[in-house]
Structure 1
Amino acid sequence: MSRRNFLEGAGIAAIGAGLLGMAGCGSPSVASSKGSETKNAASSGVSTKGTSPYAQINPQDWDFTDCTIDDFSKTTMFSEIKFGSLTLKNRLIKSAATSMVANDEQKAVAYHSAIAAGGMGAVLIEGSYNMLSRLDAPGKVTNAEDRLSIEESPLEAICKAVHDQGVPCLIQLKTATPGIVYNWDNMGPEGETHRASLLSANDIQMYIEDSIEAAAKLQAIGFDGVDINAAGDNLPARFFSRFGNDRAVDDPYGPATIESRARICTELIAGIKQRCGQDFVVQVLVNGAEENDGSLGDSDLCMAKEEIAAICQALEAAGADALELRLGTFQFHETQFVGDAVWGANGLEGSTGFGTFFNFNQHFGGLLDGSHSGCGLIMNACKYVKQFVKIPVGGVVFMDPALAPDYFEQALNDDAIDTIYMHRPVSNADKDYANKLREGRIDEIRPCCRCLNCMGGPCRVNPTNALVFTEQMPEGYEPKPGDGQKKVMVVGAGPAGMEAARVCAERGYDVSIYDKSSVGGLLDFAASVKGGHEQLGRYKKYLSHMLEVEGVNVVEGQEVDADFVRKQNPDVVIVAVGGTRPEISFSGTDSTPVYSMADFMSQDLGDRVTVLGFNAQAVDVATFLLSQGKMVTVVSSEPATAYATGQSAMLLRYTKPAFLAAGGKILPESTIASVGDGEIAIKGASGVDATILCDAIVDANTMLPNTDLVDALGSDFKVYAVGDCSEPMNIQSAVTAANLVARNC
């Protein structure tokens, strides 16, 4: 079965139609508040994606992605704003987050320079360096061997590169986040426990003094300011919240008062201002809402919104110039900054990663709007805090104004937020994001799919970030001009084929792309199953639009064989026709039929469904069916470690517990021995055969390569195979292979 055969099921087209139209640019639905009351859109009767009880916890509403803006350059998001002593040219700020290139000067300079050139209002650099003269010394910090000091680092060159683009540059001061373990004086043999009591009075003073000294060094090499990470489980946050502040009641840094809880940070802010001057900007990253994700509801020690507002007032009084708010959780560190994963399981939104589910009507004080797949999640918290401070307040974690321009513009105009902090949509997906948005070229913005493949590999839609200046991509971000005049023929218009055609055309080649169905390949199917979270409809629209922009000749409804290729006589052939499914060794019955991936969505599957395969497609199908109220079992001959092959490891840490908690069952090292009437016999790893109830089977076994066309062409042409027809895996690997082939053909 080819990639495009997946689109032949009428059910897929029907279910996916609404999702595929979701691309941004009518009526925005920013949650509003009056005084301290905040409305959660998830409670307003919006439609859900499934009938499972778990799908009802955080019903999703995608009616917020419209755009009525004619001229983005005249919007509030592209207006100037005072940011301490700085004037930012717009409200879009690149947040401080891991780049994976911190210690490589060539990569780091190019990376940050490209982001600044892309039109952001300010760029914040990650704090992945040894910046504290005593605390970062050997014997005090246990795992900083791969972190450079300020003097050894490329920070001065990075800052200059950002400034050369006319953009302010700040850097984060990050201390004692997980992965950076300090040997505090009061630390016991159990190691780091993220409690304020671990620090002695000497530790606290050393931290404050070292941080002030680091700020002075950073100012000396050109930085405009610092971003103090006082959120999540980073050091000051342990003191802000009673969840981590277990010091004595009468301790000057203890939990008794807001003043004492904020003191570690207010003394640091005041010290930096005194040492570096009032014009040196100090921003503070703070929890906008807190919840005990490890034991939901057991959150009486977490900060309520009133406490957060009071902490923010204390920070402002100490001299803070701006506030950035993010999610505050304590047991699963990544939830603080990859909130994308919380919405990663379609129909099971709100996963904590512990097999439980946030209810955004109640958890986090009911302050957050969880109905938009996490988009703008923190904005209600920002609006609440803004009532109590005069300095700019912004939010981070899935802030993507290109997805929902009216939604974000209204938030800015309603004084809900002042600034929009972004990382993955800009740093990984499209470094020219701000320029394109300002110019109204939304369809040319590569959308961040929130798949989290970038946490350990190339971005799904833009592999350059992980590969530039390596042997695979020595030329850097931009592909080199084409090698003379070439006629390139791309067969198959899925994501791999469209990416290959786009890049070849960008290099100046004469490119035609053919598909026996229509452009998109498996993207339509994937969007139907995955839902709106990964924005695959938007990604398809981007790829289709870029084929038009680059002048690619698109031919739909054309079957391509070797004879057809020979008639076209191209110089280069790129084959991206997708893989095939292996034959199964059993047959279904009238009571328990077997359906292919192409047609299962248009069938009445009954209540109990078995899905074959451990690949990412199979897992997505199983999750989708579970959210529809089905009882789902996933069966594979592969070991348990192969479950969800092709899905990012970070996303899997949330989606797998959600699937199991909602009643899904996983049977590794198992095969279907026979199919009966309403049941199937399973031969499992235990050596004991078992029978399970089953009304239908969906064959989602991992695809096999499909090289028929490549083999038929032989050596007559310069032929490349990319995507699933060469090595079935996922969109990320297919697009990466296509991009590399197109850059070098």
Structure 2
Amino acid sequence: MSEIKEGISRRNFLGGAGLAAIGAGMLGNGMLAGCAPAKTAGEKEGSSVSSESLGEWSGKSAYAQINPQEEIDASNSIDDLSKSEFAKPFNIGKIEIANRFVKTAATSGVSNDEVQAVGYFGNIAKGGVGAVFVEGSYAFFDKIDTEYTVSTMGPDTRLTIEASPLEAVCKEIHSHNVPAFIQMKWGTPGLDNKWSNTPETGTQYMASEMSLDDIAMFAEDVANAAKKLQAIGFDGIEINAAGNNVPGWFLSRFRNDRPADDPYGPASFEGRTRFIGVLISAIKTACGEDFPVQVRMNGVEENDTDLGQDELISSVEESAELAKCLEAAGADSLHFILGVMGNHNAQFMGDGYFSGVGVAGANGFGTFFDFGKHFGGHLDGAHSGLGLMLGATEVIKKAVSIPVGAATYMDPAQAPDFFESALSDGRIDFLCINRPVANADNEYVHKFFENRLDEIRPCCRCLHCAADFGNHMGTTEGCRVNACKARAFTDEMPEGYEVPVGDGDKKVMVIGGGPAGMEAARVCAECGYSVSLYEKGALGGLLDFAESVKGKHEHLVQLKDWFVRQLDLAGVEVVTGKEVDAAFVREQKPDVVIVAVGGARQELGLSGTQATPVVPISEFLMNEPGENVVVCGFNVQAYDAAMYLLAHGKRVTIVANEPEEALGKGQSASLLGFTRPAFYAVGGRVLSMSTLDEVGDGEVKITNSAGVQLTLKADAVVNAVDMVPNTTLADELSGEFDVKCVGDCADPWDIQAAIATANLAARAC
């Protein structure tokens, strides 16, 4: 990438002084836009704030002090990662795994279409992981899933093993010299089991629901399925005994309510593990003693629904005893996750506890874990959940001799030395990873072993990939940073993951250097076009500002840095400090113009007073407001700003003329499941279907949903209302050039939408 700087230098801009110097005119008036939006009339210029100055505000919420966050040592002192502990092989049974990166079983979002499924799993295997575990949704059971399962969320669209694309998927994974395992699970929300003793109202997730005949049938059905899966090529099975999965009912005293003298009852560790032992025996009888079986189970539990009522939950010491019994029963390896009772997503995405601004530990029920006390104090809650389970696996590994792995934010590119020491010290044997390798960057492992850490596209932990119902882009299992996820081999992206070769020689001009502009330029360069990108400020748009508000847990500055590196590698000509108008475009005579200049923030139509100023969201970090703040808007920008203010001890009311369910729109549904209850718990007040009528001295007047006018104390009003499209430049150029408008300037929403629209538009150039 060649860069021409016209105006402020990148070095000055990226530093705190630069952020303060360039002002809101550069940063724009949104927060998470695709790039800086246009200034609307009436909004004054001003300076923003660097992330270093966040601590200068005086107040701090008590909730923000429960699990104070620290910077983790992200250093890498390893000269050659391909010769590190990460690269050492290990065995699951007699199957050799080439390295310590294991892609875990997790919902992929791909359909039963064979081309999609093969492309998805094959792309992951090609990226260098040591093993691929295929999701349990594909493991269909002849009796369990026909006679004993009821779908409560629409028709069950799963295919039988014979009709599924599994054989082709397995063959593709093997073509990359990677072992293929498959998970068996029985705890998918919306698929309820009806056992002999299940109440008519549906499953209660209790072990007493199953009769001895049910258990015998279950084991026979599992053995038959395993034999079919082995026949089509799978190298081993993972039994999901974690969370709400049926085998986990027997492991947990919280769910095992069978009589004390029942052979499967909770009176002994042998009784609690007997059910899984029967399944292991049935699989190995059907498939041979050398056919590996891994067990996924809770490593340490906590009662999130009734915090503190822990008498029947499994401590890490109990899990160690259970692990010993499972090893004796024939398990070849163990995979540990976080054991919580009520929040399904948290069972495999425990790092969601760190997703809200100033509310680390928010569990989705309006209460907060103290990681120094809860979970037996075995979990490290000071580093945004990075390597969260390592404290638990360290205890369990001392009890068993088979390999032990764990999930939950196992992302060694974030801290290579940290994870290297965990492996070398014997706290864990393999790293169970999904989102970073399956969604964000399929080439993660290859890049890691080639010491190209700055080229790994970071997982932002935004959870757009996890049942994000109502997603703006329609991709329920998509990805913020990788537009190919959930699109490859669909009508939107029929060519798949690879960027198609461009249509001849073209000169492409990209206007705007936020996420949308950078993605468009990157993809166009991959197509083989000559690309130049112009940005009036500095690259990144509002990502620096967004991280200042949200914190570092979503890796937004890291994402910006990844884009900058990609533009350099792709040979994109980058010109910063240059504001582009139609006349300049005509001078350059491009074949294609991609406009990515961001949206425009709407005005409130109200003037502030000296006692109660109206502050654009881009400026609210500049000076600490008083105690009472009103935030206008329900979008994710307004929501994050409100969370930031609450974290600093302010009294916050967020108001919009929209229904309450719109609060936080733009944030994924799964993430809102963690943060929205926390917002209310820490004192956030919401006025939906309401309008701000008047700003006075120290107060505002608001008409609420009942039509009653309220007078609220207010020391400041933050304008974070929705942005609107900003297509002025695109409209002026239309008809003269092939113009494509992407990101917030076309459809203001969020980072995921900005990147996706840019990627698709660039592919279509």
- TM-score band by shorter chain is over 0.9
Amino acid at match of 1:308: S
Q: Does 1:727 align with 2:747?
A: yes
Amino acid at match of 1:135: I
Per-residue deviation at 1:708? Answer: 1.3
Question: What is the aligned partner in structure 2 of residue 112 from structure 1?
Answer: 121
Whole-Å separation in 2 of the counterparts to 1:191 and 1:149: 24
Per-residue deviation at 1:63? Answer: 2.6
Question: What is the aligned partner in structure 1 of residue 534 from structure 2?
Answer: 514
Per-residue deviation at 1:639? Answer: 1.8
Question: What is the aligned partner in structure 1 of residue 436 from structure 2?
Answer: 425
Question: What is the aligned partner in structure 2 of residue 349 from structure 1?
Answer: 360
Amino acid at match of 2:351: D
Amino acid at match of 2:523: V
Per-residue deviation at 1:12? Answer: 2.4
Amino acid at match of 1:287: N
Amino acid at match of 1:477: Y
Question: What is the aligned partner in structure 1 of residue 8 from structure 2?
Answer: none
Give 1:657's match in structure 2, choosing from 677, 687, 697: 677
Whole-Å separation in 2 of the counterparts to 1:633 and 1:48: 19
| C-alpha distance 725-195 of structure 1, shift in aligned 2 (>3 A) | same
Uncovered stretches (5+) of structure 1, i.e. residues with no partner? 19-46
Amino acid at match of 2:600: T
| C-alpha distance 309-14 of structure 1, shift in aligned 2 (>3 A) | closer
Tell me the TM-score normalised to structure 2 length. 0.92
SS of the residue corresponding to residue 259 of structure 1 reads helix
SS of the residue corresponding to residue 215 of structure 1 reads helix
Q: How does 1:104-503 map to 2 (within 5 A)?
A: 104-129=113-138, 131-138=140-147, 140-142=149-151, 145-455=156-466, 456=468, 457=475, 458-503=478-523
Deviations 1:253-301 (A, max 9, x none): 0010000000000121122223222221110001011011101000110
| C-alpha distance 14-263 of structure 1, shift in aligned 2 (>3 A) | closer
Q: Does 1:68 align with 2:105?
A: no
Amino acid at match of 2:67: N
Amino acid at match of 1:686: A
Deviations 1:650-699 (A, max 9, x none): 11111111011000111111122111221111111111111111111111
SS of the residue corresponding to residue 533 of structure 1 reads helix
| C-alpha distance 266-65 of structure 1, shift in aligned 2 (>3 A) | same
Per-residue deviation at 1:231? Answer: 0.6
SS of the residue corresponding to residue 574 of structure 2 reads strand
Spell out structure 1 runs of 4+ moving beyond 3 A. 1-4, 6-11, 14-18, 47-50, 138-144
Whole-Å separation in 2 of the counterparts to 1:287 and 1:178: 18
Per-residue deviation at 1:216? Answer: 1.4
The answer (yes or no) to whether the contact 1:705–1:727 under 8 Å persists in 2 is yes
Per-residue deviation at 1:381? Answer: 0.7
The answer (yes or no) to whether the contact 1:2–1:580 under 8 Å persists in 2 is no
Question: What is the aligned partner in structure 1 of residue 98 from structure 2?
Answer: 89
Per-residue deviation at 1:332? Answer: 1.6
Per-residue deviation at 1:424? Answer: 1.0
Per-residue deviation at 1:374? Answer: 1.2
Deviations 1:176-223 (A, max 9, x none): 443321110001122111000000111111111211221111111111
Deviations 1:12-67 (A, max 9, x none): 2244899xxxxxxxxxxxxxxxxxxxxxxxxxxxx999711000111111233222
Amino acid at match of 1:69: I
Q: How does 1:612-627 map to 2 (within 5 A)?
A: 612-627=632-647
Deviations 1:60-92 (A, max 9, x none): 112332222221101101111122101111000
Whole-Å separation in 1 of the counterparts to 2:118 and 2:646: 46
Question: What is the aligned partner in structure 2 of residue 21 from structure 1?
Answer: none
Give 2:86's match in structure 1, choosing from 72, 77, 99: 77
SS of the residue corresponding to residue 687 of structure 1 reads coil
The answer (yes or no) to whether the contact 2:535–2:575 under 8 Å persists in 1 is yes
Whole-Å separation in 1 of the counterparts to 2:178 and 2:149: 36
Amino acid at match of 2:654: V
Question: What is the aligned partner in structure 1 of residue 7 from structure 2?
Answer: none
Per-residue deviation at 1:392? Answer: 0.6
Whole-Å separation in 2 of the counterparts to 1:662 and 1:374: 21
Give 1:567's match in structure 2, choosing from 561, 566, 587: 587
The answer (yes or no) to whether the contact 1:118–1:433 under 8 Å persists in 2 is yes
Paired-residue identity, %: 52
SS of the residue corresponding to residue 674 of structure 1 reads strand
| C-alpha distance 311-50 of structure 1, shift in aligned 2 (>3 A) | farther
SS of the residue corresponding to residue 462 of structure 1 reads coil
Whole-Å separation in 2 of the counterparts to 1:573 and 1:742: 10
Whole-Å separation in 1 of the counterparts to 2:385 and 2:296: 19
| C-alpha distance 214-50 of structure 1, shift in aligned 2 (>3 A) | farther
Whole-Å separation in 2 of the counterparts to 1:291 and 1:519: 43
Question: What is the aligned partner in structure 2 of residue 718 from structure 1?
Answer: 738
The answer (yes or no) to whether the contact 1:49–1:59 under 8 Å persists in 2 is no
Amino acid at match of 1:5: G
SS of the residue corresponding to residue 762 of structure 2 reads helix
Whole-Å separation in 1 of the counterparts to 2:565 and 2:383: 25
Question: What is the aligned partner in structure 1 of residue 603 from structure 2?
Answer: 583
Whole-Å separation in 1 of the counterparts to 2:354 and 2:668: 14
SS of the residue corresponding to residue 128 of structure 1 reads helix
Give 1:59's match in structure 2, choosing from 48, 55, 68: 68
The answer (yes or no) to whether the contact 2:138–2:159 under 8 Å persists in 1 is yes
Uncovered stretches (5+) of structure 2, i.e. residues with no partner? 1-23, 30-35, 37-44, 469-474
Whole-Å separation in 2 of the counterparts to 1:105 and 1:17: 50
The answer (yes or no) to whether the contact 1:613–1:699 under 8 Å persists in 2 is yes
Question: What is the aligned partner in structure 2 of residue 4 from structure 1?
Answer: 27
Question: What is the aligned partner in structure 2 of residue 641 from structure 1?
Answer: 661
SS of the residue corresponding to residue 666 of structure 1 reads strand
Question: What is the aligned partner in structure 2 of residue 22 from structure 1?
Answer: none
Mean Cα deviation higher: 136-145 or 69-78? 136-145
Per-residue deviation at 1:157? Answer: 0.8
Whole-Å separation in 2 of the counterparts to 1:16 and 1:105: 52
The answer (yes or no) to whether the contact 1:386–1:416 under 8 Å persists in 2 is yes
Aligned Cα root-mean-square deviation (Å)? 1.7
SS of the residue corresponding to residue 505 of structure 1 reads helix
| C-alpha distance 49-575 of structure 1, shift in aligned 2 (>3 A) | farther
SS of the residue corresponding to residue 544 of structure 1 reads helix
Aligned length: 717
Per-residue deviation at 1:140? Answer: 4.5
The answer (yes or no) to whether the contact 1:50–1:347 under 8 Å persists in 2 is no
| C-alpha distance 263-404 of structure 1, shift in aligned 2 (>3 A) | same
Question: What is the aligned partner in structure 2 of residue 41 from structure 1?
Answer: none
| C-alpha distance 141-582 of structure 1, shift in aligned 2 (>3 A) | closer
Mean Cα deviation higher: 159-168 or 364-373? 364-373
Per-residue deviation at 1:9? Answer: 5.5
Amino acid at match of 2:500: K
Per-residue deviation at 1:130? Answer: 5.2
